[in-house]
Amino acid sequence: MNPKRLMTFINLFKMRNRLHRGLFTGFILVTFLSCSSDLNNAVFVKRIKSDFSKDLMYDAVLLVPEAGCPGCISFAEKFTRENLNNKKILFLFTRIISEKTLRAKLTPGTGFPSNIFIDRENRYAVPVNLMENEFPVIVYFAEDGSTTIDPVTPDNQEAYDRLLDFIRSKLRNYNLEDVVLSKESITGLSSFARQIEYIPLKSDGGILLSSIQTIYFDAGKIFISDTQEKIIVFDQNGKPLTTIGKKGEGPEEYRSLIAGKFTIDKKRQEVIIPDFSGKKLIIYDYEGRYLRSFPTKHLADDIGILNDTLYCLQVQPFKDTLQRICNIAILDRQGREVALLPTGHLPRLNFISSAKLDATGTEIFYEEPFNDTIFRITHDFQKMPSAVIQMGRYKPPEDIFGDIGRWPQYASKYVFNRYLFNQGGDLWFSFFLNTTLYSGYFRFTDTKPVLYYKGPRDDGIVDDIDFGPPFNPFFHPGDNFMIDFIEPSVLTEEKYSAIRSGSVLSEIRTKCDSGGNPVIRILILN
């Protein structure tokens, strides 16, 4: 596999949807302070309405004059590259010197995404009294129709932080009933993927995986945990390199790896394991060498990295069974607790379920399981609501939700088992209603669902590219890819003897050991 492509893959379930251009709905009022401008309010508004469709809405625009102040424009281009996934921002480039050069800077090797608009006719080259449009401009659109303009001058670079805070602060509501009622779903992989890549994981030295739990890619390495509570490191060709730690009672060992949860610190090239039973964090390097450990007073079963420096732990409330409060504990790199955030009350006592972390490397999102809210942890350790999932008639009453023994009885009426994944963009979902699996995402732009799969839980999207086993979404969404695993015992079944001749998968099948390690399957999206 191409190592450059592999190293772009990032942790834990993140995916960018290709969307059609959206419209700024509502009436836009922009006060132009420069009398010399030949583009007045009425003309500007008319052009916005005529140049964009009426399907979606942006919350803000970053207007970048490419022929402006070189340093300011370079920083604006960098900000654009880093935030292209944010579909609530329109990146509008005007006064362009070279479109080819701009494309190479922003999206090398691909076309412009839907939230980049190239103003080839300089229709939006509006001075706005900003030294003849030398600097980028951020335009905000409020719900009441009012407009605010924030020029990004050299002494106002914090305007970019304000823009991100503005987008993050807008709470979005998603409706689960819209998913169940949706009749549209993907019919085959070719409808959204242009290529499939495979990494057969080798079993050199007798290293075998059971069911895969967690996976990370970084520095040409693949880190995988399984249900046997071990972590194996493979190279980009699937060759096993080393193991990370081992179970035991020693200072360099962990007692338990709950649900295969661990994380990696890409900046420092470290692997961090939350030892639930041992009540400690253990840190190893990428080669599997023990570095350090420190005790915690919490029973941690998940971990993320906040602000690039802090450990964020999801902790269980076993010492607080009366209140049944789960917590998010934030520790510094020496293990000192700097904050403890309660994450919500859990009904009843006969089972415990905690919040679920979604870590981006600089931010942490978590879901409170019964109040259907996803929160973002801010840099100053506050809880900020990010999204609300309206369960509607599919939300179980508290007494039923709290009694796991009653779930089978009500499985056809309520949604119990669900997976929600949010990193500030599209909200991915996977849930069961009775025996039907629903998988897809809610668009960040308009909160409408896109259903990728609806059907039996053991099935998946038809592989109409290589004609291999069905694709079962979504183990690992990312910037421009999706991933699952093919078990060799499945691949060698007779019904897959008709895999596309000459394909990589066909060659893998001929060499496949039915008792060997899985094959990583990666979909490169259109």
For the stretch 332-371, pLDDT in tens is 999 999 998 877 665 553 344 444 666 655 567 887 767 7
Do 1 and 197 contact (CB within 8 A), yes or no? yes
Residues of the chain with CATH 3.40.30: 22-55+60-169
**pLDDT class of 479 with cuts at 50, 70, 90:** low
Task: Give the residue with greater pLDDT, 64 vs 85.
Answer: 64
Q: Which of 294-303, 402-411, 447-456, 504-513 has the highest mean pLDDT?
A: 504-513
Residue (of 380, 297, 284, 278) closest to 336 by Cα position = 297
Whole-number mean pLDDT of the chain? 79
Q: pLDDT above 90 covers what percent of the chain?
A: 30
Rounded Cα–Cα distance for residues 473 and 462 (Å): 11
Average pLDDT (14-26) is 29
445's tokens? 């732009």
The stretch 405-415 carries a mean pLDDT of: 92
pLDDT at 8: 38
| pLDDT value of position 453 | 87
* 450 neighbors 441 (Cβ within 8 angstroms): yes
- For residue 430, the cross-strand partners are 419, 439
pLDDT of residue 133: 63
Whole-number Å distance between alpha carbons of 428 and 447: 11
Backbone angle region of 461, left / alpha / beta, with phi > 0 → left and psi within -120 to 50 → alpha: beta
User: And the tokens for 264?
Assistant: 């990696």
pLDDT tens per residue across span 29-43: 233 333 334 445 445
Average pLDDT over residues 79-84: 88
* Interval 110-119 mean pLDDT: 85
Whether the pTM exceeds 0.85: the reply is no
Q: Which band of pLDDT confidence, cut at 50, 70 and 90, is reported for residue 144?
A: low
> What architecture is domain 174-525?
6 Propeller (2.120)
| Strands of 349-464, DSSP E | 356-359, 364-368, 373-377, 383-390, 418-421, 427-433, 436-442, 449-456
What pLDDT, on a 0 to 100 scale, did the predictor assign at position 289? 97
Give 84's pLDDT tier (boundaries 50, 70, 90). confident
Q: Which of 367, 472, 470, 376 lies closest to 430 in space, CA to CA?
A: 472
What is the predicted pLDDT for the residue at 346? 57
- 181-234 pLDDT, tens per residue? 887 777 789 988 889 999 999 998 888 998 898 888 889 999 999 999 999 999
Question: What confidence tens digit (pLDDT) does each residue in 264-300 have?
Answer: 998 899 999 999 899 999 999 999 999 999 999 888 8
Cα–Cα dist 138/159, whole Å: 8
Q: Which of 190-199, 439-448, 484-493 has the lowest mean pLDDT?
A: 439-448
The pLDDT, as a whole number, for residue 344 is: 65
pLDDT band at residue 518 under the 50/70/90 scheme: very high
- Please say if the pLDDT value at position 11 is more than 50: no
Q: Which of 225, 229, 275, 222 is nearest to 249 (CA)?
A: 275
Q: Is 72 helix (H, G, I), strand (E, B) or coil?
A: helix
- CATH code given to domain 22-55+60-169: 3.40.30
Where does the chain hold its CATH 2.120.10.30 domain(s)?
174-525
Would you say how long the chain is, in residues? 526
Nearest in space to 89 (alpha carbons), one of 525, 380, 424, 374 = 424
H-assigned helices in 332-427: 398-401
Q: Nearest-5° angle of CA 360, CA 362, CA 363? A: 65
Q: What is the pLDDT of residue 404?
A: 81
CA distance 311 to 264: 11
pLDDT at 55: 39
pLDDT at 34: 36
pLDDT surpassing 50 at residue 14: no
- CA-to-CA distance for 114 and 17, rounded, in angstroms? 10
